[in-house]
Each structure stands twice: as structure tokens, then as C-alpha cells.
Copies of this chain bind each other. A is one copy, B any other.
Amino acid sequence: MHVRLIRELGGELVAVCGRTLGAARAFGHADPYDDPARMLRERAPDIVHVCSPHHLHAEHSIAALAAGAHVVCEKPMATSIEDGLRMLAAADRAGRLGAVAYAYRGYPLIEVLRGKIAGGSLGVIRRVGGCYLSQDVLPAEKYVWMFSPRTTGRSYVLMDLGVHWLDLVEFVTGQSIVEVTAQFSTHQPERIWHGGPGEGGEPPGIPAGEGGVLVRHGLEEQADLLIRLGNGAAGSATVSGVSPGHPNTIVLSIDGAERGADWNQQQPNVWIERSAAGCMIRQRSPDALASDLAWMSMLPAGHAEGYVDAFRNIVFQSWSAMLGAGLGYPSFADGLRGLRLVDAAIRSAADRRPVAIR
């Protein structure tokens, strides 16, 4: 994805750094490296895209910033607030920008909704609900590297998926989440590593035959949330990685005093504007965007834009900001915000009480 966007936007991919030289070479597209420090030293890239496992984002981003590069970091930005703070400090120190790949922000209708709400078209916001439901780890024993100790810290599904939903809530409403109440569930506490694609290196655990490793993880696969926004709005949501039939259902459902709005990432080209009179299905159309956002959406209504288009928009925003343009972009500060929200949810679930967020 990153490679494709880099080329599409006219960037030049100078180097790819993998865990091994072989992996980097297999990836293709550019000179392979297995040592980030050497790559940074030898190639001095203008911008580094950090796509390593979550717990390495901090180390790799900080190195890149120290080497004078701007950074586009995959989400979640890090696995702890501390790491997030170090990354922000590194960017400040280096005078470079850090962006976080909150790709879903790049859908044009997210901007349309944001504009509607900011402009008061829905009235005072009262409810923000929805979900992020996936079946990423539905199969009984399915293992992904994020279940390995230390790779995602203290959370699986909020860290990997929920952080997107929480970011969209704040981004779209322009309101801060000031309190979260969470209830966590671990439905499949034993999973088996077999070393397949996406499973990462061998984790500590109990031998499970044929080279497999049984891992007892304590991470939530489902998080049920109550949120309170700064203006008093409230809502509920569930984030799950074990919801059958949901490849990647991200729903934002918003009630204002006058109108409501619904958006579902799986049908990203429509939104529903609810009012007492009925529910209006509105198609994405370039005409609905503010003129300074018109670049986000090229195609006439009725021609689907997709995830790649959204992701490209985010990378374009970030690069533009790095090149000095005044464009907004999902920044390290936004990434840190996500870590704070997830951290609050983790503490709420553990302490069984609402937790306020600074």
C-alpha cells in the first residue's frame, strides 16, 4: 500500500528496510536493507514510512527523525503513552514532522460530515455511537503477531482497530472524548502460533505439536465502550475482532439535536442524513466538499472511491505538510491522543469505573 501510494504521488522510493535482507529484497521496488541505521545513513531519505510492528514504531521513528527525515508512521503510533511522548519530542527536536496513518480520515465523506457538524447542520451533537467489528481473529486458534507479548502492549483490539474509531469520533465531531468506560472480553484466551504469514516470530508459550506454540494471551478481543464528549454528548460502541461476517465494519452514528448522520466504512461512498422526515442516502460527490478539500475526491458521484483513495489522501496531506504546505494531516499529536484514549479504556476496564481523559 505505502509503496503504491509513494509512486502514485510521484515520490521516489529509494530504499526498503526489512527484518532480513531477504525480506526487504522480496518486497522489491527499491534497494534492500536490514539495518535501519545504515539505511538512514547511506540514503538520507526525506521521508521515512514506518510500517514495522507496533512496538518498534517508536525506535524506528525516532531514528528516522534524528537522521533528519520526516516520518509517516503506521497506527497505532506506539504501544505506550511514554513512547508516544518520546516520538513527539524527537520530532520537535529534529524540527521534522511526524504523521500517523489514520487512513480512514482520508475518505471524502469523513470531511463532509466534519464540515456538516462544524457548520451546525446537525444541531448540537448529542450522541456518537457505532462500532468497529471485524473477524480478523475469529477462527478459534487463529494467531496474529499482535498476541505476542510486548508487540501491542496491554490491548489487542482497541490498539489495532479501536484506535481508528476513537480518532474518527474526535476528528469528525470536533469534540474531545473526556471520559471512557470500558468492558473488555477475552473470548479465545488460548491461541496457537504456527509461524504462518502475519503471525510474526515465535512467541514464548507451550509447545503445541508440529512446531506450534500455544499462547495464553490476556488481551481483549472485544471492547465495549461508553464515551462522553466535552460538550455532554454520549454514546456506546463495540470494537471486536471476533464478529462473524464483519470483514471491517466501521460505523459512525451521530445524533444532533436537529439531524443525525450515519457512515459505514464498508460503503464509504454514501452517508445517511437522518431527520424526523426520513433517512436521506447521500452519495459522495466532489461538489459536496469545501473548495479547499476538492482535491480529495476526483470522481463524479456514482463512481466508487475506495480505501486506496483514502489512504492516498492522508499520505498526500502528510507529505504536503512536510513540504511546507498548510494542509492539515493526522499528526503525531493525534497519534498520541489515540494512545491516551486506549490507555484510559484499558484502565477503565481494569478498575471497573469511568476514567477521565486529559
- B-contacting 9-mer, from A36-44, A86-94, A144-152, A243-251: A243-251
Give the segment of A111-119, A296-304, A334-342 that binds chain B.
A296-304
A19 at the interface (CB under 8 A from B): no
Q: Are B235 and A304 in contact (CB under 8 A)?
A: no
Q: Is A232 an interface residue (CB 8 A)?
A: yes
Q: Are A266 and B266 neighbours in the complex by a CB distance under 8 Å?
A: no
Bound CA span A216–B184, Å: 37
CB within 8 Å for A236 and B234 given contacts A243-B255, A245-B260: no
- In contact, B234 and A235 (Cβ under 8 angstroms): no
Partner of A302, one of B134, B183, B280: B134
| Interface pair B301/A185, CB less than 8 Å apart | no
For A237, the chain B residues whose CB sits under 8 A away are 236
Contacts of A30 in B (CB 8 A): none
Interface size grouping (class) on chain A: 35 or more
Q: Give the number of times this chain occurs in the complex, counting copies.
A: 4
The reply on A278 being an interface residue by CB < 8 A is yes
- Distance of A68 from chain B, by nearest CB (Å): 28
CA distance A245 to B303 in the complex (A): 14
CB contacts (< 8 Å) of A350 on chain B: these are none
Docked pose: A255 CA to B309 CA in angstroms: 32
Q: Which residues of B contact A242 (CB under 8 A)?
A: 126, 255, 257
- Which of the residues B234, B275, B282, B299 comes within 8 Å of A183, measured between beta carbons? B234
User: Could you tell me the distance between the alpha carbons of A140 and B236 in the complex, rounded to whole angstroms?
Assistant: 23
Q: Are B247 and A283 in contact (CB under 8 A)?
A: yes
User: Is A258 interfacial (CB-CB < 8 Å)?
Assistant: yes
Segment from A58-66, A166-174, A223-231, A321-329 that makes contact with B? A223-231
Are the C-beta atoms of A307 and B301 separated by less than 8 Å? no
Task: Let me know if A267 is at the binding interface, CB within 8 A.
Answer: yes
Of the candidates A1, A138, A255, A273, the one having the most CB atoms from chain B within 10 angstroms of its own CB is A255
Give A237 to B52 CA distance when docked, in angstroms.
36
Q: How far is the CA of A244 from the CA of B262 in the complex (A)?
A: 11
Binding site for B on A (CB under 8 A): 1, 4, 7-8, 10, 124, 126-127, 129, 131, 134-135, 138-140, 181, 183, 185, 187, 222, 224-226, 228, 232-238, 240, 242-249, 255-260, 265-269, 272-283, 285, 298-309, 352-354
A–B Cβ pairs within 8 angstroms, 17 of them:
A124-B187, A127-B243, A139-B276, A183-B354, A224-B236, A240-B255, A246-B274, A248-B303, A249-B302, A266-B302, A269-B306, A277-B280, A278-B281, A278-B283, A280-B281, A299-B306, A299-B308
Known: A135-B276, A224-B235. 16 other contacts (CB 8 A): A127-B238, A138-B276, A140-B257, A183-B234, A185-B232, A187-B257, A235-B238, A242-B255, A245-B275, A266-B283, A279-B280, A280-B281, A303-B306, A306-B306, A306-B308, A308-B308
